[in-house]
Structure 1
Amino acid sequence: MSGKVNEQLKLRGRVLIQVPPVLTSPVKHALRILARDLEAVLGSEPEWVTDGPEPAQLHIRLAEEQDHCEARPEGFCFRFESGDDGSRLNIIGSDELGIVYGILEFSRRYLGIQPFWFWMDQTIERQEEIVILCEDYDAPQPKVRYRGWFVNDEVCLIGWKEPYPPTGEVWEPVFEALLRCGGNMVIPGTDLPRDGIHYKLASEMGLWVTHHHAEPLGAEMFLRAFPGKHASYQSEPELFENLWLEAIEMQKDMNVLWVLSFRGQGDKPFWIEDPSFDTSEKRGAMISKVIRRQYEMISAAVQNPVCCVALYGEISELYKGGYIDLPDNVIKVWADNGYGRMVSRRHNNLNLRVSALPAGGDGGKHGLYYHVTFHDLQASNHLTMFPGSAAFLKQELETAFAAGTDEYVLVNCGNIRPHVYPLDILRELWTAGEIDTDKHLSEFVSSYYASGREELEELYRSYSAAALPYGPNADDLAGDEYYHHPARRIIGHWLQHKEAEPDPGLIWAVGDLPFAEQVKGFETRLEAGIGKWRAWLERCDEVIRRLEGEDSRRAADQLRFHGALHLSGCEGFYWLCRSYGEYSRQRYPQAFVYASESMWRYREGLDVLRGSEYGKWDGFYRADWLTNIESTVQNMDTLRRVLRMNGDSPDFFLWYKEYLMPETEKYIYLENTHRNPLPDDELARRLKAYFLESQDIDTK
C-alpha cells in the first residue's frame, strides 16, 4: 500500500537503510553524505543492509515498472509503503544520478540540510525524531538539460589549504553543493596541474565534466606539451591531433560534454601567433575545419558524444558574421559580457554590446555561459557578490531561455563562498526556468537564518541599489576590482611621469581625456558611491546587532563582508584621486596625507578579509591574487613614500619642523636631539590633525 495522506514515517536514532547490493561510485558518495547528515541531525550513523528480515525504514534503489517513476535521465521519486511493521520510504532513481538527487532531496526536505549548508555555515539542529508525512513525490524535470558550474578564477580555493593542486578536502564541498543544486556538469578549475584529483573526483561523484574553451577536448596546451614549437595547426596538425587523441583516450569512459574550439595559446585568438590568417573568411574557415576534425575524432571513439562549441569572444563574432560552419548536433553556447548582460564582452576600450543570443531561425541546440563572478582587470566582481539585482538576473535568464538557450547553462561560480545568493538564484532558474524573486529571497533567507528575516531580506534586496554605477548601462555596476585595478593603473601612470598623456587603459571607464580629468572622473563617481555604501553598511550593522546566535556571524560573512569591501575600496580609491589633485597643485604634504588616508582605507579591506577567516575558513582569502587588495595597499605605501620625498627629503624632518614643531622650538632646537624622523603613519596622522584644524584639508 503506498503514499496515503496522514500516515507518518518516524525516524529516530539509528536508521536502517536498504541499499542495492552493487553500489556505483556516485551512489557511494551520496550515501556517505546521507550518513553524515543523519548523524548530524539524529546523532547516529545509519545501518546499511542489502537484504534481511529486519524491515528497513528507507529503501534506496533503481526504478521498477510498478513505481511509475518518470523514465527520463536523472529522474527520481519518493514512494511510501505501509504495512504491519510500519511505513517505509522508497527513494527511487531512474538512473544512478537520479538516485543521487533523490538522496540529496531527502536530506534537504526531511533533514533540513540546504544546498549551501557548508558555504553558509548553516546551523544544523539536532533532533530526537524526524516525522515524515507519507506523501509520494515526483521530481519535476529541470528546465535545462545540462547545468553546472565553471570553478574559474578559483584562487581562494587554491590558496585555502597547503596542498597544491587542491585535494578532496577542498573539492568535495564544491561538488556536493553543485549536486545539491541539481547541477550535473562542472569544469573543475582553471589550468590546474593534470596530476590533481579534480576531474577524477568530479566524475566519481556523478558529474559530467566539461572543458575551458581555451582547452578544447580538455587537451594539454600545445606549448606546454611542445615548448619551442610554433603553435600553428596549419603547420603542426599531427601534434595538435595527438594531444586531442590523448585527451579523448583519457576521458572516453567518463560522462563528458566535449568542448570543440580553437583558440590560441593563453586564451586569445589563434591568429595572434599565426598572422597569415588576416581575414574573417580565413579565420572562420580554419576554426570550422578544426572543430569538424575534433568532432570526427570524438565520434570515432565515443558513441553518441555530447559536444558543444563556446561562442565566446572572436568565435561569437565570426559565427554571427556567417564565417563559421558547425556540425548540426553540437550545442552552441552563448556567453554574457561578464557583467550578466547577454551582449558581447568589452575588449579593453571597445564595447560593441552586440547581442549574444541566437537569432530567430538559428536552429539546433543552444546554451549559456553565464557569470555571477568575473575577473577582467577593470570593474568586475571577484571577491564580492554580483552587484546586479535578482530582477536583473531573472530578466536576462528568462529572456535567454525564451530565445532557446535552455539545453545547457554553465555558471562561472568563482570561489563559491562569496557568491551563494546569486548561485542559488541560478539554481532556481535552471530548475524551473523562471523565478519569483521575492518568494525565492524569502525562502533563501529562511533556509539559513533563524532571526531577523525581514531585515535580512531588505539587505539582500537593497545591496544592488547601493552599487556604484560607472557607466550608462544597467549592468555597468562596479564590483570590487573597480577600486583596485584602475587605482593601481593611476599610481603607475603617475609615478612613471606620464601625466601629460591620458592612460589608455582607463578610457573604458572615464573617456579619452587628459589624465587629470580621468582621475577627476573617477573621483566624482566614487564620491557618490561612498555615501550609498556607507548608508547600506550602517543598516547592515544595525540588523546584525539584533540578530540571535550564529545568525550574526553568518550575516557578517554573507552581507557585511561585501559592503565593507565596497566601502573601503570606494573610499581608498577616492582619497587616491584627491591625493593626485593636491599633488597637481604642488601641495605635497596634503597629497601625502590623502595618500595615507587612501592606504588606511584600503588596509581596512585587508582587515575584512582576515576577519572572515576563522575556523574552517582559516586562510580562505590568503590567495587574493586577482583583486589583490594587499598589492593596492603596497602601491599606496610606495606612492606616499614618493610624495614624502617631494618636500620632506633628504632628512624627512622638514614637514615636522614646518607644521608640527612648536613655534618656541623652531629657532632654538639642537639638531642632535630632534632629528629622529617620524614614521609615515604617525607623520600622516599628525599632519592630518594640523591641516584639519587649519581647515587646509577635509576628510569627510
Structure 2
Amino acid sequence: MGTFLLDKSVTVDIGTMKDRVPVRRAVERFYRDLDLVIEGDSVYGGGIRLCEESMDPEQYRILVEEKRLVVCAGDELGFVYALLHLSEAYMGILPLWFWNDQKFEKRKYVEVPVGTIQSSPYPVKYRGWFLNDEVLISRWDGGVSREYPWEMAFEALLRLGGNLVIPGTDANSKIYMGLAADMGLWITHHHAEPLGAEMFARVYPDKTPSFAEYPELFYSLWEEGIRRQKDYRVIWNIGFRGQGDRPFWDDDPQYDTPKKRGDLISSLMVRQYELVKKHVKNPVFCTNLYGETMELYQQGLLTLPEDVITIWADNGYGKMVSRRQGNHNPRVPALPPAELRDGNHGTYYHVSFYDLQAANHITMLPNSMEFVEKELKIAYDCGIKSLWVVNCSNVKPHVYPLDFIGNLWRGNSLTAAEHRRRYMESYYAYGQRIDGKELLASLPDLFEAYFKCTVPYGKEEDERAGDQFYNYVTRDFVCRIMADGGQRPEPELNWFAPGESLEEQMELYRETVVNGRNAFEPLLEACSRMAEQAGSLLEDSLLLQVKLHTYCLRGAVSFCDGYEAYAGKQYLRAFYLFGRAADWYEAADRSMRAREHGKWKGFYENDCLCDVKETAYCLRRLMGYIRNLGDGPHFYEWQREVTYSKEDKRVVLITNMENHMTDQELYQAMKERESDEKALGSVGGTV
C-alpha cells in the first residue's frame, strides 16, 4: 500500500470556498500545523483538494492517493474537522497542544496511507464550552494579542470535536462572538443574558430593571441582539433572569410568589421566540433550567414553547441536581422526567464553578473523572443528547477534565481510568526523553490520588472542596471577627457549618482543614519527586494545583490556631499565627506566579475571583485588629516583648527608644526569633 507524503511543498486547493471564512481559517491553521512538525526543503509535489458534496452536517470523507488527497464535506465544519483529523492522526498535533505545551520533533515529511477515511457522527449533537468567569484569559495575551488566547481556546474546542461556544461573559461574549463564528462554531448565550442582548442595567443605568415598568425597553434590547447576531449560526437562549447571575425578583419584589415568577418567564419566552422567528429562518432555541428556574419548572409553573432544547444544569460540582444558592440547597434532581426523555434536552455542566463558597476556579474539579463519567452517562441515558455545554472557565487549569468530557461527547469508549492513562501518555511523555516506563507507571496514580485528597465538606458524594473553600470561608470568618469580635455565628456559613456560636463553626472548619492538609501533604511530596523526572508540564499542572490546595490548607489551619489563641485572649500569639496564615496564602499566590514562564507570563496575574492574595490581605488587616486589642493604645509593649533582651524588656523608664514598628515589621521580628524557644515561650508557646 502506498502513501501520500505531507511536507512543506503541499498545496491546499480551496476551490470555490475562498469566501467561506471558517474553511479559509482551517486551511491557514493546517499550514501552521505543518510548520510545527515539518522542516527541510524536500518537494514531493502532492496536493490537497477540498470538494463540496452532499453529506450530513459535520461529516467528511478523505480519499488518499499517492499524489493527491481529496477532502469531501457538505458544510464548513466538515472541512474543519477533516483537516484537524489529518493534523492529529498524522502530524501528531494533539487537541490541547497549546495549553499543555506539547513538544514537537521535526521531520522531513509525514505519511498518510492510501485509502479512504470516513467520519462518523457524534452521539451528542451540539458540543461546546462556556468561557465563563474568564478573568485570567481576559488579561493575558499569550505573548501575542488579547484575541490570541480566545482563538487558541476555540481551536482546542474544535480539536476536541466541539461545535458550540458561549464566547465569554457579558461584554466579552460580544467582543469574541465574531471570532468564534469565523472559526466555524455555533454561538449560544449565558443563562443570564437571554438572546445575547445587552443587559438592561448597563444600557439604562438610571432606570430600575423592572419588566413591569419598562417592557418596551426590554423588547428593543432583545430585538437589537437578534439583529446583531442574525448572520451567525446561533442557538437562541430564551428566558428571563436578573441583571446579574441572580433572580430578577431580587430587583423587582412585586413578583413575590412562584406563580407570578413562572407566569412572567413563560410569557417572555414566547415573546422572545416570536421575535427570533421574525428575523431568522429555521432558528434553533434553548432555555436553561438553572437554579431557581429549575424549581419553578419542577413545580409546574413554567410553560416552554415547542421545539426548545431544555438545558438541565449540574450544581457546579458535577452532580445533576440544582445548585446551592447561599444557604438554600434543595438539591432538586436536574434530569428530564421519564415522560419527557424523548424530547430535546441538553446539559450545562461545570468543570469550573464560582459560588463564593467551596467551588473550584484555579484548580481542577474536586470530583473524580469516574464521578463525572457516571453523572454524564446517567444524563445521556435520561435523554440529554441534544446539547452539552461545559463551563471551561479559563481553560488551562481544567484541561484534563475538558479532555475527558471531549472523549465522552465524541462517543469514545475509554473509561475514566483508560482515558487517564492515555492522557498521561500523550501529554506527559510525548516527545520527552524520559524513562517512560517508570513515569507512566505512577503518574496516573497521582492524578487519581488528587481527587481522593480533595476535602469533603458535607455529607453528599459531590460535596468536596475546591480552592474557593479555604479562601472564602476564611475571609467570612475574618469579617465576622472584625465586625463584632466573633460574638455571633456567621450566617453566611450555614450552608457548611450551622452553629449557635462562631466557636462551633470554627471547630468544624478546623477539623475539616486539618484533615484536608493531612491528606494533601503526602501527595505534595510525591508530586514534587515526580516533577524532578517529568519536568515543567507536571509543575505547571498537577504539582501547582496540589501546592495551591496544600498551601491554602496550611494557611487555613494556622488561621484556626490563631482564632483559638484569640478566643483565649492570647493576642500576641494570635497576631503571630494570623501572620503565619497570611504567609501561606501568599505562598500559594507565588506558586502560581512562578509558573508564568514563556507565553504564560501574566496568566495568573488577575486571579481576582478565588484571589488567594486577598485572603492574605484580609489576614494582615486582622493582625492590625488584634494588635489594637492587645497592644493599643500606646503600641510599645509588644515591640519590647519581641525585640528587647530579657534583661531590658522589663525595665520601662522610657517606653520605647525606637520608632514604632509596623505590623509587618513586628511580625517579621517574631519570625526571626521563631527558633528561639525562650522567645517563643513568651508569646504563648511554640508556634
CA distance in 1, matches of 2:53, 2:667: 70
CA distance in 1, matches of 2:324, 2:655: 60
**Equivalent pair of 1:530/1:570 in contact (CA under 8 Å):** yes
Q: What does residue 136 of structure 2 align with?
A: 156
Cα deviation per residue 1:355-374 (whole Å; 9 max; x = unaligned)? 01010002520000000001
CA distance in 1, matches of 2:651, 2:318: 66
Pairing of 1:530-609 with structure 2 (within 5 A): 530-547=517-534, 552-609=535-592
Q: What does residue 31 of structure 2 align with?
A: 35
**1:312 offset after TM fit, Å?**
0.7
**Equivalent pair of 1:150/1:187 in contact (CA under 8 Å):** yes
Cα deviation per residue 1:296-324 (whole Å; 9 max; x = unaligned)? 11112111100001011121111111111
**1:352 offset after TM fit, Å?**
1.2
**Equivalent pair of 1:387/1:478 in contact (CA under 8 Å):** yes
- Establish whether residue 119 from structure 1 lines up as the match of residue 106 from structure 2: no
2:81 counterpart letter in structure 1:
Y
> Which secondary structure does the structure 1 equivalent of 2:69 belong to?
strand
**Equivalent pair of 2:586/2:616 in contact (CA under 8 Å):** yes
**Equivalent pair of 2:237/2:287 in contact (CA under 8 Å):** yes
- Establish whether residue 484 from structure 1 lines up as the match of residue 471 from structure 2: yes
CA distance in 2, matches of 1:20, 1:167: 32
Deviates most, 169-178 or 475-484: 169-178
CA distance in 2, matches of 1:367, 1:333: 4
Q: 1:377 to 1:341 in 2, by over 3 A?
A: same
**Equivalent pair of 1:115/1:180 in contact (CA under 8 Å):** yes
Q: What does residue 423 of structure 2 align with?
A: 444
**Equivalent pair of 1:151/1:413 in contact (CA under 8 Å):** yes
**1:15 offset after TM fit, Å?**
2.0
1:57 to 47, 54, 65: 47
Pairing of 1:269-418 with structure 2 (within 5 A): 269-362=247-340, 363-418=342-397
**Equivalent pair of 2:17/2:24 in contact (CA under 8 Å):** no
**1:432 offset after TM fit, Å?**
0.4
Deviates most, 366-375 or 264-273: 264-273
Pairing of 1:216-231 with structure 2 (within 5 A): 216-231=194-209
Identity %: 38
Q: What does residue 57 of structure 2 align with?
A: 73
CA distance in 1, matches of 2:580, 2:339: 57
Deviates most, 143-152 or 12-21: 12-21
> Which secondary structure does the structure 2 equivalent of 1:158 belong to?
coil
> Which secondary structure does the structure 2 equivalent of 1:496 belong to?
helix
Deviates most, 640-649 or 467-476: 640-649
CA distance in 1, matches of 2:495, 2:685: 31
Q: Which runs of no fewer than 5 residues in structure 2 stay unpaired?
A: none
CA distance in 2, matches of 1:633, 1:324: 45
Between the two proteins, the alignment pairs up a number of residues equal to 672
1:517 counterpart letter in structure 2:
E
CA distance in 2, matches of 1:167, 1:656: 49
CA distance in 2, matches of 1:125, 1:433: 28
CA distance in 1, matches of 2:41, 2:503: 66
- Establish whether residue 267 from structure 1 lines up as the match of residue 245 from structure 2: yes
1:536 counterpart letter in structure 2:
L
- Establish whether residue 457 from structure 1 lines up as the match of residue 469 from structure 2: no
> Which secondary structure does the structure 1 equivalent of 2:365 belong to?
coil
CA distance in 2, matches of 1:16, 1:334: 45
CA distance in 1, matches of 2:335, 2:686: 49
**1:664 offset after TM fit, Å?**
3.2
Q: What does residue 16 of structure 1 align with?
A: 11
1:655 counterpart letter in structure 2:
W
CA distance in 2, matches of 1:339, 1:104: 32
Q: 1:561 to 1:607 in 2, by over 3 A?
A: same
Deviates most, 495-504 or 414-423: 495-504
**Equivalent pair of 2:352/2:393 in contact (CA under 8 Å):** yes
> Which secondary structure does the structure 2 equivalent of 1:143 belong to?
coil
Q: TM-score, normalised by structure 1?
A: 0.92
> Which secondary structure does the structure 2 equivalent of 1:688 belong to?
coil
Pairing of 1:56-205 with structure 2 (within 5 A): 56-63=46-53, 71-81=55-65, 86-161=66-141, 167-192=146-171, 197-205=175-183
1:10 counterpart letter in structure 2:
L
Deviates most, 126-135 or 610-619: 126-135
Q: Which runs of no fewer than 5 residues in structure 1 stay unpaired?
A: 1-5, 48-53, 65-70
Q: What does residue 460 of structure 2 align with?
A: 473
**Equivalent pair of 2:139/2:146 in contact (CA under 8 Å):** no
2:399 counterpart letter in structure 1:
V
**1:202 offset after TM fit, Å?**
0.7
Cα deviation per residue 1:343-363 (whole Å; 9 max; x = unaligned)? 011111121111010100025
**1:436 offset after TM fit, Å?**
1.1
2:315 counterpart letter in structure 1:
N
**Equivalent pair of 1:653/1:675 in contact (CA under 8 Å):** no
**Equivalent pair of 1:118/1:173 in contact (CA under 8 Å):** yes
2:582 counterpart letter in structure 1:
M
Q: 1:693 to 1:229 in 2, by over 3 A?
A: closer
Pairing of 1:680-699 with structure 2 (within 5 A): 680-686=666-672, 688-690=674-676, 696-699=684-687
- Establish whether residue 525 from structure 1 lines up as the match of residue 498 from structure 2: no
Q: What does residue 2 of structure 2 align with?
A: 7
**Equivalent pair of 1:381/1:481 in contact (CA under 8 Å):** yes
- Establish whether residue 640 from structure 1 lines up as the match of residue 623 from structure 2: yes
CA distance in 2, matches of 1:270, 1:388: 31
CA distance in 2, matches of 1:120, 1:370: 23
**Equivalent pair of 1:394/1:435 in contact (CA under 8 Å):** no
Cα deviation per residue 1:657-695 (whole Å; 9 max; x = unaligned)? 335533333466885985355513322314533458766
**1:536 offset after TM fit, Å?**
0.6
Cα deviation per residue 1:643-670 (whole Å; 9 max; x = unaligned)? 2333334554423433553333346688
> Which secondary structure does the structure 1 equivalent of 2:347 belong to?
strand
CA distance in 1, matches of 2:40, 2:247: 56
**1:46 offset after TM fit, Å?**
11
Deviates most, 399-408 or 152-161: 152-161
> Which secondary structure does the structure 1 equivalent of 2:236 belong to?
strand
Q: 1:666 to 1:296 in 2, by over 3 A?
A: closer
Cα deviation per residue 1:113-151 (whole Å; 9 max; x = unaligned)? 111111111112211221222342222211111110110
**Equivalent pair of 2:286/2:309 in contact (CA under 8 Å):** yes
Q: 1:252 to 1:673 in 2, by over 3 A?
A: closer
Q: What does residue 25 of structure 1 align with?
A: 21
Q: 1:229 to 1:536 in 2, by over 3 A?
A: same
Q: TM-score, normalised by structure 2?
A: 0.93
2:214 to 218, 236, 256: 236
> Which secondary structure does the structure 2 equivalent of 1:633 belong to?
helix
> Which secondary structure does the structure 1 equivalent of 2:320 belong to?
coil
2:671 counterpart letter in structure 1:
R
**1:78 offset after TM fit, Å?**
2.0
